[in-house]
Amino acid sequence: MSDDDWSRDLVTRTGFKFHVRPAHPDDEPALAAFFTHVTADDLRFRFLSSIKEVGHDRLAAMTQIDHQKTENFLAFAEGSPAIIATAMLACDDALEVGEVAIAIRSEDKQKGVSWELLGHIAKYAKAKGVKTLESLESRENHAAIELEKELGFVAQGYSEDPSLVLVRRHL
């Protein structure tokens, strides 16, 4: 499966139009700029740690990917070169379980972008043969947990860290 097969124009329930495509190594500067427009809480929720800036190592891990076990989709508002969201899928070696992580530019929240991106990743994962999608969420990230529940994920406590919730959906 070519990574270009999953570039799409998407439209949210609110009518917001955006383009999504797999990340490439030359996207690192734009991805760095994107993360300067993500709230401190959303950075903490995305990386499950308190960071003030997303450094080169993390950016490289999100742009220099194999497109087999790992995919990172970047979203762009219609007619704009600026990244408005990123949605990463990292699968186990057997491609049976995939972990999802999404971040949205603060001014583009509440437009339905997360909903559409999560749906896009679920379709992509299913096409690859992934059986289960998972996401580790901070218990404080109520918006993400509720969105995932709306899309058929089931939340449960995470035994290794009581401050986290594991949400899971079988495809």
Q: Which residues contact 160 (CB under 8 A, 6 or more apart)?
A: none
Residue type, 18: F
Q: 3-state DSSP: the chain helix, strand, coil percent, rounded to 5?
A: 35, 30, 35
Q: What is the pLDDT of residue 3?
A: 45
Helices (H) and strands (E) counted in the chain, each on its own, are 5, 8
**What's the CATH number where 130 sits?**
3.40.630.30
pLDDT tens profile 59-116: 999 999 999 999 999 999 988 899 999 999 999 999 999 999 999 999 999 999 999 9
Q: What is the pLDDT of residue 51?
A: 84
Q: What is the pLDDT of residue 4?
A: 52
Q: Which two tokens stand for residue 6?
A: 């999953």
Please determine, for residue 166, whether its predicted confidence score (pLDDT) is greater than 80: yes
Q: Nearest 5°: CA angle at 111, between 139 and 157?
A: 15
Please determine, for residue 1, whether its predicted confidence score (pLDDT) is greater than 50: no
pTM: 0.91
Q: Which residues contact 36 (CB under 8 A, 6 or more apart)?
A: none
Q: What is the pLDDT of residue 2?
A: 46
For 84, the domain range is 3-170
pLDDT band at 163 (very low <50, low <70, confident <90, very high): very high
Domain tally, the chain: 1
pLDDT tens profile 100-154: 999 999 999 999 999 999 999 999 999 999 999 999 999 999 999 999 999 999 9
